[in-house]
A and B are shown apart, each in its own frame.
Chain A
Amino acid sequence: MATAVLDLDLSAAPADIAGLNRYDRALVLIRWCGHPVGVVELPVAGGRLDGQATRRAMIDRLDWAFWERWLRDRLGEPAPARRPATVAICTRERPDDLQRALEAVTRGLDDGDELLVIDNAPSSDATRRVVERFPVARYVCETRQGLDVARNRALREARWDVVAFTDDDAVPDRGWLRALLPPFADPLVLCVTGLTMPLELETPAQEAFERYAPFGRGFRRRVFDGTRDDPLAVGHVGAGANMAIRRSALEVVGPFDEALDAGTASRTGGDHEMFARILAAGYRIVYEPDALSWHRHRRAWPEVRQTAYGYGVGVYAMWTRLLFEAGEVGVLSRSLTWFFDYQLPRIARAASRRAGSPPVLLLLAELWGCAAGPWAYLSARRRLRRGLAAG
């Protein structure tokens, strides 16, 4: 059986929900007047959820994040000044996902905003044909392969100073873009990340992935400050599928490392390495849960195992770069702490089939990726250098 993903607002009248015959559980995003304030998991019996019981379960789950939000609403927050921005979607041969992402993004655009689709090393014209259905979107073809190559291209092409990135397999909420922008009023903020929830949990592989690596980082706004927080601890800052970057950050900390992330041997890590550099330079990153996006996890087991393996590779690839390029010797102790205090106990729990644990195979795939990470990064670097030399 699968898990239904629901999106319910506490400020609306409760109603029974039917038609959940395929599901035995429900994951409910709790909103208050449109703002995400919490999440609750409920059992589904007989294909339906009782409205009153669901509401009570949601209320029982409310914590300080909700009450802070409730108070801000009650006191009447002044509307932040609007600023135009660029949205960039980096994509590669996923026309169906892209169609859905574009439909979602265009709903949240205001007059003056710009929408870029970076088609990364395409092997067909499928992406171009999807983009042509959206007159507001601008198609840019980047022939050099790599997600970080595409991100750098987006930053160069963008008309506005703030560039919001979303993945082709993500579906941003209508208010996503507007929520990402206000923290940039602080000139020390170079990056804002948002809340990412699973779009669907239809297969056991998707459910397992959500247990293994949930994207959500809580429901309270957090400010990460390079003069206070450890720049190497960027796992809880957010992820590249839901982030906005101030373009002038490039002048301060340099572009994304093109030897990292999808399309290279390093597989992931380009976003986190950028977060680390921003913090190390003494700037700020804000996590803003109002900037909500829904991410479709891979549906089949082999893909999910590949993703977990890729996480391991990416983390160690990023650390390899930080160690050799920036002299961050702290990654050595950090890798030991991660292994002994986190990875190993987690594997032990999974092996003893503790409730809520992800499958042990996913965790082993991640560990296997960690071992491959440093060599993957060095190989990606060599390839990048050869590619640049060849022009």
Chain B
Amino acid sequence: MSIVIPTHNRRERLRRTLDALATVTRPPGGLEVVVVMDRCTDGTDAMLQRLHPPFPLRALALAGQGGPAAARNAGAAAAQGSLLLFMDDDVEPSPGFVAAHVAAHAAPDAVVIGALSPALDGQAGFFRIALRRWWEDMFDRMRRPGHRFCAFDLLSGNVSLPAALFHRAGGFDPTFTCHEDYELGVRLMRLGARFTFAEAAVARHHEATDLRGALQRKFEEGRADVALGHKHPEIIPELPLHRLWELRSRRARAVRRLAFLAPAATGVTTRAGLVALWVLERVRARRLWRRVLNDLLTYWYWRGAAGALGSPAALARFATARSGDASGAEEVLIDLRDGVATAEASLDRLRPAAARLVYGPHPVGRLPARPGAEALAGRHLRPLLEGALAAPLLDAMARAGAVPADLDATRLRALCRAVPARPTSDAEPATRS
């Protein structure tokens, strides 16, 4: 196991990370740590030389342009382990951290995403709550049974994968300075890597960003997502950019237009938003505060995208560009009348990109193909049947006479029709007649 840590002028933080690594349970095959110093000028080098950790520690100085992607590539090239673990310099591992990563690699070609629990020391108030939830929600999603992993679940702050798989994918793309992990995720998914979430591989993440830092980050994400779409057009429908572009409310359009058409107003808009947030927090108007924060973050995301795309017309062309690759995916037919266990086994055997679900002759819904997402598997099915597909499934079962006769199937069908159909990205319920 080789741990690769890129760092940029965070000597003390890095030292704490290495101190914590000294206390983790080491795997039987041994452990090495490769620190890649990305244009460090704060004496990180001297600190590393004074350190005598209980594991082999190598320090590389990155030459050239720099950036976290290039630093990780350089670290991976120098690493000797058959497993690579990428972690950031502000991440403090728990004692079982490395062992949990190693244990999750029992099957080949796994990409193991570890949990990060946010340690927020510098923030306060509503922003602190929002930031903590932003981090928690990311892992909350992956923790849910039946989560369908996608390329964007890959977070380079705490992830491990076989070195061979990393090199086969071609490593990180150094032209990305943000979302380089998502971009690698797309290529790994294409290679059929198996993404998994390891709750036990938990580390504390010392998040130091403030509200202005979060806005700057959104700007970079907007720019990076355009680059991501240019490199992998099939992924565009999955980008936040596409979802935001599809929003048709007057408010959403106003935020977008402001970002694209009045770049000179950036300072004024931001200051007005920050003042509004301050006032709303004073009067504890949570709902409004969240809306304003959301608008402000979206505004900065669009500023980043506008810098890369130029005009609203270019955005429209970008958002509607389709490679047609996903929509033509092959769909398998699954009959739920044979039982859920049989259906799960079929999905596990076939691993299709998309599936159409029926109960005998009656339609239940579709599990659509999603670009950048893993192929369908048996474990995805049950939560969808109990959730988004419950009404069409019960309706189909009532029509097929599969509910106990004295429980009034006619009323059940009326109840099913009253439940509004809510398609999600993972399941599209069939319309009920």
Contacts and interface: CB of A to CB of B under 8 A. Distances in A.
Interface of A: 59-60, 62-64, 67-68, 70-72, 75-76, 186-188, 226-227, 230-231, 281-282, 326-330
A189 B76 CA distance: 38
B133 A282 contact: yes
A326 B125 CA distance: 11
Given A64-B419, A227-B130, A227-B133, A330 B284 contact: yes
A60 B412 CA distance: 11
Given A187-B136, A330-B284, A67 B386 contact: no
A329 B283 contact: yes
Interface of B: 129-130, 132-133, 136, 140, 143, 282-287, 290, 340-341, 382, 385-386, 390, 393-394, 403, 406-408, 411-412, 415, 419
A31 B386 CA distance: 20
Contacts of A67: 390, 394, 412, 415
Contacts of B133: 227, 282
Contacts of A76: 340-341
Contact of A71 (B130, B132, B394, B408): B394
Contacts of A60: 408
A68 B390 contact: yes
Contacts of A72: 386
A75 B406 contact: no
A76 B408 CA distance: 22
B405 to A, nearest CB: 11
Given A59-B408, A330-B283, 11 more contacts: A59-B407, A67-B415, A70-B403, A71-B385, A71-B390, A71-B394, A76-B340, A188-B136, A227-B129, A230-B287, A329-B284
Main secondary structure of the interface of A (DSSP, over half): loop
Main secondary structure of the interface of B (DSSP, over half): helix
A64 B140 contact: no
Nearest to B336: A75
Contacts of A328: 284
B393 A64 contact: no
Nearest 3 A-B pairs (CB), nearest first? A282-B129, A328-B284, A282-B133
Nearest to B407: A59
Given A59-B406, A71-B394, A281 B419 contact: no
Nearest to A75: B340
A64 B415 contact: yes
Contacts of B408: 59-60, 62
Contacts of A187: 136
A282 B132 contact: yes
A254 to B, nearest CB: 15
A386 to B, nearest CB: 31
B422 to A, nearest CB: 14
A202 B432 CA distance: 47
Contacts of A326: 284
A68 B283 CA distance: 40
Contact of B290 (A62, A68, A227): A227
B412 A75 contact: no
A189 to B, nearest CB: 10
Contacts of B406: 59
A230 B284 CA distance: 11
A71 B386 contact: yes
Nearest to A63: B415
Contacts of A59: 406-408
Contacts of A329: 283-284
